[in-house]
Amino acid sequence: MTVVSSAVLPIRTQEDIVRVRQAAREAGVAQGFSLVDQTKLVTAASELARNTLDYGGGGEVEIVRLNEPPRRGVRLTFSDQGPGIADIEQALKDGYTSGGGLGLGLSGAKRLSNDFSIKSKVGEGTQVMIARWR
């Protein structure tokens, strides 16, 4: 697997969520993603960036363009030092929310991605990795 490019963006404000969406779309375009795949990547990125800000108190995302012949992909890793998630299995269920949202952020991002992993420790924060491949 070859890393084509990598960038780390802060997630501290609503404007940062917009920047994450734009950077995810640009990475998808650069990797030759179809419009549908770009939209899936951007939607998942938007949900996870919002979770990072709203529930994690802010953090960052690493956006990596990957070549793994014959496929190309984009991997996004969201990290925060927030309160963490006590029950990851429950948090991944549609409709579960610890706030006022619809409870579709994590489960929706998982469905929109080809690869998905989540690590979280109460009191230490959360890391969510997604990847979309072409």
* Predicted pLDDT of residue 90: 86
Q: What percent of the chain has pLDDT over 90?
A: 80
Report which of 68, 60, 62, 73 is spatially closest to residue 31, judged by C-alpha positions.
Answer: 73
Residue 104 has pLDDT above 70, yes or no: no
Sign of CA dihedral 90, 92, 95, 96: positive
For residue 105, the cross-strand partners are none
Distance CA 77, CA 54 (A): 17
The residue among 103 and 120 whose pLDDT is bigger is: 120
Q: Domain locations in the chain? A: 2-133
Band of the pLDDT at 79, cuts 50, 70, 90? very high
Residue 133: CB atoms within 10 A of its CB come to 16
The architecture of the domain spanning 2-133 is 2-Layer Sandwich (3.30)
